[in-house]
Structures are given as C-alpha cells and as structure tokens.
Amino acid sequence: MLLTELIDGLDILYAGENLDVDIQGIAYDSRNIGKGCLFVCIDGKKTDGHSYARQALENGAAAFIAQKPLQLGSEAPVILVRNTRTALAYVSDRFFGHPSARFNLIGVTGTKGKTTTCFMIRSILEAAGRKAGLIGTLGVRIGDRVLHTDRTTPESLDLQQLFARMADEGVQDVVMEVSSQGLALDRVKYCEFDTGVFTNLSRDHISPYEHAGMEEYLGAKTLLFKYCRTGLINRDCSFADRVIEKAECGVLTYGTVAEADARAENLVLLPGAVKFDMVSPWYNRRFSVNIPGKFTVYNALAAAGACGIAGVPGEAVALGLERVQVPGRAEPVETGRDFGVIIDYAHTPDSLENILATVKAFARGRVICVFGCGGDRDRAKRPMMGAVSGRYADYTVITSDNPRTEDPDAIIRDIEAGIRTTPGKYTCITDRKEAIRHALAAASAGDVVLLAGKGHETYQEFGNVTVHFDEREIVREILGEDF
C-alpha cells in the first residue's frame, strides 16, 4: 500500500516530500523491521522508540511516523503527528483493510469478570455452531487453536493483524477482553465493536505504571462506549450511571435490580453451581452455570445479553453456559483427600471478598486462604485485602505473589497491617510454595484451601526474572509427599 493512502485522513503536523513509497509492512519494534516497512516510533513509559529510528533505518525502514523530530540523514519520509499510538492504530487498521467490520466484535471491559464473561460468550457462540475467536488474558483462541499473547489487549498493530487472520479464516464472532490500558493507549481505537460490555469497577491498576487514580481508571474504561454500537452495562455497579452518562452508543443494562433491562431472578447458589431465571428482551428462561458464586450470575447475564444482541437462540445460551470452563477462576484441584483446594485469580479486595464468601458458604469446615499482592502495583489495596481475608477466612497464610522489584517481605508487612485490624488468625510465609505446603498440612476434613491471586498464571516474577510456578503442579507435588 502506498504511504499516501495509508496516512490519508490521519491528523498530521508535518509530512515531507517523497510520500509515494510502497509500504510492505508496519512495525513499532525496530527488531521486527523488514525492507519497505513503516516504522512507528512509540514513546513508552520504559522505552522510547524514537531512540531506535536509526536502527530501524539500517534494518530497511522505508518511512517513519514520529511525534518528535528525527535526524536520520536519509531521504526516507518522516511524518510528524501529535500521538504515535493513535497513528499506529490508524495505519494498522487501514493496512489490514479494517478487518473488525468483517465479523461480530464483542468487547468486555471492567475490573473483574472479563475473562470469565468472554469464555462464557465463546462457549455460547460455539454451542450455536458459530466459529468464534477469543482474545484476552489467557491468550488468543481461533477455533481449537491457542496462541500466546503478552498482553490482555494486544498492541493495535498486533490486534489488527489478528483480526485480519481471524476474518480470513472465516471467524464469525470475536470476543475480547478490553483492558483499561488497552483503551487508554489507543490499542482498540478504530475497531468496530458491535457490542461493548461493562462488568464492574473496583480498585485495581492504580500505580505509576498504570492509572494515577480511580477517575482516570474509570475514564479509560468508558472509552469503549465511544467505539461500539450497543453498550451492555451492569446496572448493579455503583459506577453504572457514570458509564451510561459517558456512553456515545445505545445502552442496555443487566443486573438483579428491577430497572435492569436484563434481570436475574430466583437465584439459587449451590456449592458448585448457580441457577437463575433471566428476564430480558431476548430470553425468559432458567439458566444453570457450573461455577459457584453470585459473581457468576452477573458474568452469565452479561454473556447471555451480549449473545442476545447478536441473535443467538436461547437453547445455545443454555448449553454454552452449562458447558463453560474457565482456567483459574474458582477452579477446583483434585486432591484425593478429605479437604478441598480451589485456585482463583482474585487479586483485588472485592474479588477476594467474593470468592471467600462463596467458598465459606459451601465449606463444611474451615476456609484457609493463601494469598499475596503484586509488587510495583497499588500499595493501598494491600491492607484492604489483609482485612478482607481476616474477616472471611478462618486462617490466612500471607505470602508472595509476583514481587517484581519490591521486597516480598515489605509487601507482606503492608498486607499484615490490614489483617491485624481483624480477629482473623494468620501467619506469614514468604516462599509461596512453602506457604501452600503449610496450608495443606493444616487442612482437616471438610476444610477448603483457597489459593488466591495467581489463578491461570503459571509463573512468578522476581525483579526481571520470571520463574515457572504452576499451583496445580505444586499442590499435586506436595500431596504426593508424606507430610
């Protein structure tokens, strides 16, 4: 595609001459440059792509988009723009022929429930016989194939390339998790969302590396409802009115309150499942999901509503919800013992409270909670999570999560400050494997050991080192020992 065609309509501050360049590809990483590529210089929080422009030129870059002047001593054209992230999204969408218009695109945003809701939607769509793609925290799925991705919401170039691949393979529907960072950094700008879902909002992703505060976090989430035709909003969330007010699309709501467009009534919460009646513009029938907890009802309502908007029959919704399984979300681990083990991704005060309340409702004995908090992230939530576990768990083992560049013991002290305000019994064991060993050894008949925070993750991050750590493997290894 000619550069002039690629940048037509882009908000440009300056463009030199020689713009009739044939562009063979696009890159934002100089290591991925090939001959004839357009290099987009991204000024990130850790790395500035402008510093790698000369390397990109040496690797064959034919043109550049930048937001700072480049001194390259070359005839390769440089287009200056205000924001290269926005420009990357624009040219990527045009280069791949606006692929998001070739299928039904559903985006799910919110603090909690994105992954589960997306898996539910995909399960329903497949039950309806439709070929569905999924993009999110647990990777990319195209039919039965699973591809790795480094981000919940890929960079705009990678996302548009994925969309084009899915469209070319005959995918009819794509459901994706849309993170606040993905929205704030324009990764999904110019995507044509048919439906956007808002699950909820609670404290998370507040740090120097993410969002400065809750207002900025909320503002990022609401951007999705500028890009979609229909918004489906959780009416029960305290932020619902704010999201609806900012929406620039048609809005429908779901929840348990009477004014919700899609309501759940006659809820039955069982140890391993939920059942409810859905009263909505699309379905008026009873559904069952084999994932415990009231939060499952909200996720299932959102999934059923999104599929209702897409015209999916009620029978497929019922079958898809019955079949769905989500790794690391209220996931039981077979122990062969007289106590239970559940792995869950809960890593915010609200999500930890939800899963603990759910487990406590069906545990025949004590609830033993093992959790920590990530380093280089929001410190304010650490004592909150300590207080939650102190109130709900019968015994807490405070340990490490992903310490990253922080001192693991300092993180534990922050959590400990919260649990000390409760009567909850606890101990601190920095090594997460030893913490799990301690919890399993302490468990008696009827107890449930909750391993919270890691969920689907199979690693731990220490400084700049990532080590393998799969809690399913850890539990089986420990239970295989004689303790």
Residue holding tokens 């040219």? 91
Q: What is the CATH number of domain 99-323?
A: 3.40.1190.10
Write the single-letter amino acid at 281: P
Q: What is the pLDDT of residue 217?
A: 86
Q: What is the pLDDT of residue 151?
A: 86
Give one word for 23, left, alpha or beta, with left for phi > 0 and alpha for psi -120 to 50: beta
Residue 379's Cα: distance from chain center in Å? 20
Full strand arrangement of the beta sheet holding 61-66:
14-15, 78-80, 61-66, 37-40, 25-27
3-state secondary structure of 408: helix
Residues 229-247: what's their mean pLDDT?
A: 97
pLDDT band at 204; cut points 50, 70, 90: low
What is the distance in angstroms between the CA of the first residue and the CA of the last residue of the chain? 66
Report the CATH fold assignment for 3-95. Answer: 3.40.1390
Question: How big is the chain, counted in residues?
Answer: 483
Q: What is the pLDDT of residue 210?
A: 65
Give the bridge partners for 175, in sequence order: 106, 134
How far apart CA 266 and CA 247 sit, in angstroms, is 31
Lowest-pLDDT range of 2-6, 140-144, 205-209: 205-209
Write the single-letter amino acid at 271: P
Residue 181 · residue 220 · CB < 8 Å:
yes
Residue 447 · residue 365 · CB < 8 Å:
yes
Residue 243 · residue 233 · CB < 8 Å:
yes
3-state secondary structure of 332: strand
How far apart CA 451 and CA 433 sit, in angstroms, is 11
How far apart CA 365 and CA 339 sit, in angstroms, is 9
Percent residues over pLDDT 70 in the chain: 98
Closest CA to 385 of 436, 422, 433: 422
Q: Which two tokens stand for residue 385?
A: 């999570």
Q: What's the angle, vertex CA 30, arms to CA 29 and CA 36, rounded to 5?
A: 110
Q: Residue 431's CB: how many other CB atoms inside 10 A?
A: 12
Q: What is the pLDDT of residue 211?
A: 55
Q: What is the pLDDT of residue 213?
A: 74
How do residues 405-444 score in pLDDT, each as one tens digit?
Answer: 999 999 999 999 999 999 999 999 999 999 999 999 999 9
Q: How many CA atoms lie within 13 A of 105 on its CB side?
A: 26
Residue holding tokens 């991925």? 32
Residue 430 DSSP symbol: S
Is the pLDDT reported for residue 4 higher than 60?
yes
Q: What is the pLDDT of residue 271?
A: 86
Domain 331-479 in the same topology as domain 3-95: no
Percent residues over pLDDT 90 in the chain: 89
Is the pLDDT reported for residue 205 higher than 60?
no
Q: Which two tokens stand for residue 464?
A: 């700049």
Residue 202 · residue 111 · CB < 8 Å:
yes
Q: Which two tokens stand for residue 10?
A: 């882009």
Residue holding tokens 């207002």? 215
How far apart CA 304 and CA 44 sit, in angstroms, is 38
The answer for residues whose C-beta is within 8 angstroms of residue 418's C-beta and 6 or more apart is 382, 383, 384, 385, 386, 387, 388, 390
Residues 316-333: what's their mean pLDDT?
A: 95
Beta strands in 178-294 (DSSP E): 193-198, 228-234, 250-255, 262-270, 273-279, 284-289
Residues 231-252: what's their mean pLDDT?
A: 97
Is the pLDDT reported for residue 209 higher than 90?
no
Is the pLDDT reported for residue 276 higher than 80?
yes
Q: What is the pLDDT of residue 203?
A: 57
**Class for the domain spanning 331-479:** alpha beta
For the chain, what are the domain ranges? 3-95, 99-323, 331-479
Residue 352 DSSP symbol: H
Residue 122 · residue 134 · CB < 8 Å:
yes
How far apart CA 7 and CA 63 sit, in angstroms, is 11
pLDDT higher at 164 or 210: 164
Residues 308-329: what's their mean pLDDT?
A: 96
How far apart CA 345 and CA 110 sit, in angstroms, is 15
Residue 40 · residue 88 · CB < 8 Å:
yes
3-state secondary structure of 175: strand
Give one word for 455, left, alpha or beta, with left for phi > 0 and alpha for psi -120 to 50: left
Q: Which two tokens stand for residue 190?
A: 């110019």
How do residues 25-46 score in pLDDT, each as one tens digit?
Answer: 999 999 999 999 999 999 987 8
Is the pLDDT reported for residue 299 higher than 80?
yes
pLDDT band at 470; cut points 50, 70, 90: very high
How far apart CA 269 and CA 262 sit, in angstroms, is 19
Q: What is the pLDDT of residue 230?
A: 98
pTM for the full predicted model = 0.90
